[in-house]
Structure 1
Amino acid sequence: MDYVVRELTEQCIPFIRLNTEDLPKAEVIFGIQSPDDWEININGHKFTGASIKAAYFRRPEVPQVTHGALTDSENEYIQNEWLSILKNLYWRLEGKWLNSPTHIFLAEDKPKQLVFANKLGFNIPETNITNMYALVSKMQEQKQVVAKPLKHALLSNDEVIFTSRIQAVRPSQSDSIQLAPVIFQEEVKKLYDIRVTVVGSSIFSVCIKTVCKVTGAVDWRSTEHANLVHEVIALPKELQEKCLSLVKCLGLKFGAIDFVCDTNKKYWFLEINPNGQWAWIENQTKLPIAKTIVEELISISKREHI
């Protein structure tokens, strides 16, 4: 978010940054005459629904409520009331978002992504989303298999679950496998990873190569950053069109799409993150992603006046 704020500041574009954890510090009025009938006054800044022409949603925090004189259950009640206001604010800004929170939530469904990507003609590794031991075991008879979570990749102790190569499963692991569905895919022998950042009709494509092959990591995110090299690349025109179509099909204007390129120079779709990180890409490559996001927001704001 800091990158977008910096770009807005450099272009002298007025903006409000609302850190959602601070919302309980605000005074609010939410009317019922129209979606724009609302006002928030926080930290000496007052803004209204009519004054907001475009909006960018990025990693909100839960409103923080800690009134020492109240019980935990009372604080929880108050927090949920602020969450309801926040949810309503998201709705009131529909049509003004770069990516609306609703569309982000729906697009985070990885099985849905794979169905859409398959329909658009992307190359997709053989995939089973299952908790059945027999199916996983059969899959492993002919190929190396990797596993990744459907949703939660972060445990409560801050441990990250990366996409991982799995050893041959055993009958004794049947009960463990049945605990929850997992995405099991054929491992693609890759030359490198590709991150494609789509903003509106703009595409920024970068290959991510691992310098040190000692670890043999499946997921580049588990590799030390010092061992990664980022290079700007040009995707085939047909693949670019498919990327644009996927983002549009999911109701988005922004998407961070992950591919791998195999040893035959074939591109394989892995997933799309509708609210993915991109600042490190800009740092590594100087690609103008923040500037393009701001340009897209300006375009949205102008459409509001039509």
Structure 2
Amino acid sequence: MILIISNKTDLATDYLVHYLSEKKIKYVRLNTEDFQLKWEVNFDISSKGSEVIIHRYSDNYKLSTTMIYGAYIRQPQLPDLNLSNSDKEFGMREVGETLKSLWRVIPEKIWLNAPHNILRASNKPEQLQIAKSVGFNIPNTCITSNIEKIYSFYQSNNQQIIAKAVKHGFQYDGYKAKVVATQKLNSKQLSTIKNFAKVPMIFQEFIEKTVTYG
């Protein structure tokens, strides 16, 4: 069984499970904000041995971690616990630690992306610096909210640049999701950049793609 851990609004995970379904590959998806609402995890540990069971409420499905042969995690989120303000910090901490304990009992060799590497892997500036340090060619990049630097970067890259979010372009207000996609900037968009430049963004030289996958 493949275990996929994510959140309800992650489009990349939606595409992944759609692909797995088409290929008839068995998987279980856990949206972490549904922890304790739609699923739970139980640890039974003694001197005789240990067992960790994931229990999905909707169909009473139970999955032992020993049955997992592949695991993938992407942008997990903590659930919104129905607790008083005085208890919420404690509850969130304990839930977070319980989820981390689940990640840890799954052997690292099973993970496509081991959780302890997630923080580093999700930081785009660090990714670029590491890529450069090991010899990869990387696009010219500027991360800023300074309008003058944005204009200068635009001109120095032949007026061919893209803009993207520093973390990710997904927004969810509890009712509907919005996607702010990576986009190529033209002169008209650049003229209105001051409306958005209060928030730092990643700007990169535009590189024409030569191959499309999928």
Asked whether the two chains share a fold, i.e. TM above 0.5, the reply is yes
State the distance in 1 between where 2:42 and 2:95 align: 10
What is the CA deviation profile of residues 69-107 of structure 1, one whole-angstrom value per residue up to 9, with x for unaligned ones?
A: x66876786565333211221123242312112223321
Give how far 1:146 is off. Answer: 2.2
State the distance in 1 between where 2:162 and 2:61 align: 52
SS at the partner of 1:56? strand
* Number of the residue aligned with 2:95: 82
Distance 1:30 1:2, change over 3 A: farther
Matched, 1:149 2:165: yes
Give how far 1:147 is off. Answer: 1.4
* Number of the residue aligned with 1:57: 72
SS at the partner of 1:84? helix
Structure 2 residue runs of 5 or longer lacking an equivalent are 1-16
Greater relative contact order (Cα 8 A, min sep 6): structure 1 or 2?
1
SS at the partner of 1:106? helix
What is the CA deviation profile of residues 125-173 of structure 1, one whole-angstrom value per residue up to 9, with x for unaligned ones?
A: 3221222222222223342132111112112352222222143756993
* Number of the residue aligned with 1:116: 130
Correspondence list, 1:240-259, <5 A: none
What is the CA deviation profile of residues 44-90 of structure 1, one whole-angstrom value per residue up to 9, with x for unaligned ones?
A: 52525xx25643114476565777xx668767865653332112211
* Aligned-partner residue type, residue 180 of structure 1: V
* Number of the residue aligned with 1:185: 204
State the distance in 1 between where 2:81 and 2:179 align: 29
* Aligned-partner residue type, residue 53 of structure 2: I
* Aligned-partner residue type, residue 70 of structure 2: A
* Aligned-partner residue type, residue 148 of structure 1: K
Q: Is the contact made by 2:73 and 2:113 (CA closer than 8 Å) also made in structure 1?
A: no
* Number of the residue aligned with 1:17: 28
Q: CA RMSD in A?
A: 3.9
Alignment coverage as a number of residue pairs: 181
Distance 1:37 1:147, change over 3 A: same
Matched, 1:160 2:158: no
